[in-house]
Structure 1
């Protein structure tokens, strides 16, 4: 497959949250914090090789740049088979994870599966990106590799944070599928398979009318500058970009819930922003009562065939009123089945409850993003508004069937908390993931080729092949990728499949392939993966030099890599 060059018009990231932000974490209820305003400096980091510890540096480029224009940097589970040696440099030293009373959790890392034993890999689609922007915040705050909680790193959210030049859906199709197979960057004996899925953009003039309920945490823990004040600025940006048709309601919660606006026409943007800007933080966190009130309002203004959604903004510290998180999850799931979806926006640091917010978003047919700067707020709520707010496919599941004639074993990178039983793929009662307009989902598989010296030979399977004269019907196929999904207003799923043939195997991978592989390497280094092989910051930076064109977000990624490498 010929590589396609991404030409994304990204807005310049002109300001990053500085690491000098000082904040007093609130314990319990009612307090406010005294803090020093964050310090941020702007620098064209891709042209400047100087780094000062503790100072935030910001990308200011606005268009895609060629390699010549950029500055040059100096240099499991299941069967649990081991196919790689961990020869990467030790970046961890004697560093210890900085907890800061934040909570993260994820299942054990995916291991390799023998295709003869487990030919199918099944998982729910996931377009969350919170893990990447949250870890970015940690790096900007001065964390070294060993100080970042490995459980805060979800590789699929790192990979899916970025845009890729994927095939658009053909006429009549909901998805376009892009596949590519080439050498694995961190293990020369293995290959890497890139699977990208993209939905079409939506014409905002033809978009469903929206009934949005902003559920805003105004408890004392939200008083910090990178919480409620940042939330207010981000929501003001969203309101300005929304169409005039539809309604917005605002429910706040702290010690008690309060309806600030109820069914306000979106055309009254001035009044809506005024209501948002008047909010202030104080009191305890009664998230459950606020959630119930928000869904009550959403149901009151429910639009048949419309976009009915609760957007919850919080630091996740639901410390009062939640007698049982399972009950809250069931409540959100039931409301999802009634047609009201939930999106989660996380803010701040210290007492940040990532695990709770991720769970709630998954239950509510929504996405989960972390807002660490006004620029990220614009990215999620303005630049990617159609993807964030408008669901075009629900209960999306992917199933990859590998061909044992070409693949001996495979390992899915990330998606540990989205794995599904193979039989659930065809079961319409089993929940999948949700994808918005223009969204893309990328999955990477590290695969052991059937003819690899590290392939595990199975006596009786080989004998069966010998009996058939080594004739394999699908000898030129690596895998089949199947996608099952439902339309937003339908409960019956549809099936879409493509074959990954040997025509997509290449020795000259595309920029998308190289970049996604670099992001996977970075995530594996941060989570200290036992499958990271020869992954290193140096290799990632070397790959950066090879990319023909990059955008702002990619440049920022490589800046973060370079920053961490200097702290090692």
Structure 2
């Protein structure tokens, strides 16, 4: 036994014989071939674009049969689903519309695809892959866990993060007003029952900013926000052939009042009552000298072609209408306020144009400092028997100092008692603060206009400059009382932001709108006669209509106004009777514009009357149309109709 053990021990301790070189090389080559065959690591064949005749599923089946771990199975299944979606587009409908979803892609994840299939790595496909991976998690429970290797920690973490980020994706929410502009607005005037509310009171308005803004929005291919639509400013944008006060018996009044009643275009069972005011136009050589302070916003928000550059061009147009006795000063504000031109005669155009040309935009918007310096400058320029006015040109973006509407209102109200007027010109879109502009103009006894083109600047600062600069009546208020024996219901179209309380009419301390030389004001009421089937409210069981001593009157119009510089108002009265029944192109066109505004803002009272009817009415009532504004309005209405997809 011991001999055998010794022999074995000696054999084990002996040196292993050296193998033959040729045989060793043969065995190594065979081993490498077997390894490559079993592990599929052979070099791939050159790829071609020729499709296999075996169908779309053979490659998928082969790939699935070779994957053994969970991560590989999940990835392959997801890629297979993506491939099926690419080949069969009808399957993608089951996954919903993904075009508004932008998934977050892990920057550390890399997706490799075969050059032969070359799938498009679009957002839609990525989202579908994530969805399929979620579905795969539910089906994995059916697989025998004993035959599946667990996911490595990094792979599991990557998939978990991708799924979570996909779940968190939400469609982009669109704002109701994507422009970012802010507007002065109020709820639409309600329908009033005459027995309950026989009196309607409001302040006049000669602003035209809303129409110019609406035009700018439509020409940019967008419907204006509803809050931007102020119908009274749309109607008052146009000139009408109203009776001049000088042509009326006793023509010493500042303006003439006219009332007309006609059938409502959108409802044959109701009537329109038009109240028209025509301001007196003095002779040019009789007007007093002007003291003008151009208060110009040069902040960074004005650095756009439709803002500061257009503003400078607009003021250049204005210079041609001024006389040598007029004076101009220029104040600018951005982070700080400064005077860039001291009071200078309008005849020195070179100095004025040079100061305008040097203006540049930049910095914040310290509106308070600018207003304070402008009022100090205007106060130094003001003399007796002259008109002193500040013309503020801005986008209304006050972000330093007095930026709250109430603070601005209180400050301007304190300054207007000095006799210095404040008018406002709005420029640009995107951050236009119309609410601020309206606050400034209404409380500064001035007018608000919106300048979107050089043509609009020509209209406001050249053609209608006299009315914009020379007031003939301050704090003009209108109060209408309807006869409940004749009128069951009524509503005022527009003037929502100009509404006054009934008791404000006789209170001379309550501020109201002003009328400039040659200005016109138009107000429309839709009224429902007693007994008309168009009545929208039911009569009260115990509320009999009131019998009046004036059965021939439909209603009664009263106006109050102050002479410039006066603190006491005067009253003017005009009854509304059957003698006021009439019709003309001016009334029909104003009604068409009122319908245009309601279609843009709220068409609830228009019934089936729509765009075609409004366009036809306006087109047939253009009249003389000296400057083509009415024809342009018809074109604008057609554009609005094409943009209105409801």
Partner of 1:29: none
1:213 correspondence with 2:289:
no
SS in 1 for 2:505: helix
The residue aligned with 1:82 is none
User: In structure 2, do the counterparts of structure 1 residues 289 and 535 end up closer, same or farther at CA, with 3 Å as the change threshold?
Assistant: farther
User: TM-score, normalised to structure 1's length?
Assistant: 0.79
1:400, 1:207 → 2: CA distance? 33
1:543 has 2:625 as partner? no
Give the match's secondary structure for 1:448: strand
Q: What is the rounded CA distance, in whole Å, between the counterparts of 1:548 and 1:420 in structure 2?
A: 33
Structure 2 counterpart of 1:151: 227
Give the root-mean-square deviation of aligned CA atoms. 1.8
Assess if the C-alpha contact under 8 Å between 2:622 and 2:630 holds in 1: no
Aligned to 2:639: 563
| Residue pairs, 1:157-168, within 5 angstroms | 157-168=233-244
Where structure 1 has 5 or more consecutive residues not aligned to the other structure, the ranges are 1-93, 466-471
Query: Which of the two has higher C-alpha Rg?
Result: 2
Residue 511 of structure 1 corresponds to which residue in structure 2? Answer: 585
1:244 deviates by 1.3
Equivalent in 101, 105, 115 of residue 180 of structure 2: 101
Deviation at 1:233, TM superposition (A): 0.7
**Is the counterpart of residue 278 in structure 1 residue 352 in structure 2?**
no
Paired residues for 1:56-205 under 5 Å: 97-143=176-222, 145=223, 148-169=224-245, 170=248, 171-205=251-285
The separation in 2 between residues aligned to 1:313 and 1:532, in whole angstroms, is: 37
Relative to its length, the structure with more strand (as a share) is 1
1: CA distance, partners of 2:545 / 2:612: 44
Any conservation in 1 of the 2:619–2:631 contact (CA below 8 Å)?
no
> Which of 488, 492, 499 is the equivalent residue of 2:564?
488
CA distance in 2: counterparts of 1:490 and 1:259, whole angstroms: 32
The TM-score with structure 2 as length reference comes to 0.70
For the 8 Å contact 1:476–1:501, the answer to whether it is kept is yes
Residues 142-180 of structure 1, C-alpha deviation per residue, up to 9 Å, x if partnerless? 11x4xx210011011001111111111131122112221
- After TM superposition, the structure 1 = structure 2 runs for residues 46-65 of structure 1, keeping only pairs within 5 Å, are none
**2:315 pairs with 1:235:** yes
In 2 relative to 1, CA 185–241 (structure 1 residues): closer, same or farther, beyond 3 Å?
A: same
Deviation track 1:41-69 (CA, whole Å, cap 9, x = no partner) reads xxxxxxxxxxxxxxxxxxxxxxxxxxxxx
Shift of 1:464: 6.0
**Superposed CA offset, 1:108-159 (max 9, x none):** 110111111111111011111101101100001111x4xx210011011001
Aligned to 2:449: 369
1: CA distance between counterparts of 2:238 and 2:430? 26
Q: Give how far 1:194 is off.
A: 0.9
Please give the alpha-carbon distance, in whole angstroms, between the structure 2 residues aligned to 1:287 and 1:203.
Answer: 36
- State how far apart, in whole Å, the 1-side matches of 2:442 and 2:265 are: 32
Determine the structure 2 residue equivalent to 1:457.
Answer: 539
- Name the structure where helix makes up a greater proportion of residues: 2
* CA offsets 1:402-429 (integer angstroms, 9 cap, x no match): 1122211110011111111111111111
1:432-491 residue CA offsets vs partner (Å, 9 max, x unmatched): 1111000011000011111212444345553764xxxxxx53222112111100011110
CA contact (8 A) 1:103 1:351 kept: yes
Report the Cα distance in structure 1 between the residues aligned to 2:408 and 2:619, rounded to whole angstroms.
48
Q: Distance in 1 between matches of 2:283 and 2:423?
A: 21
Q: Which residue matches 1:254?
A: 334
Aligned positions of 1:261-410 closer than 5 A: 261-322=341-402, 324-410=404-490
Partners of 1:389 and 1:464 in 2: CA distance: 46
2: CA distance, partners of 1:463 / 1:96: 47
Shift, 1:566, TM fit = 2.2
Greater RCO (CA < 8 Å, at least 6 residues apart)? 1
Change (3 A) 1:195 1:464: closer
SS of 1:241 mapped into structure 2: coil
Which segments of 5 or more consecutive residues in structure 2 lack a partner in the other structure?
1-172
Rounded to whole Å, the distance in 2 between the matches of 1:211 and 1:567 is 45
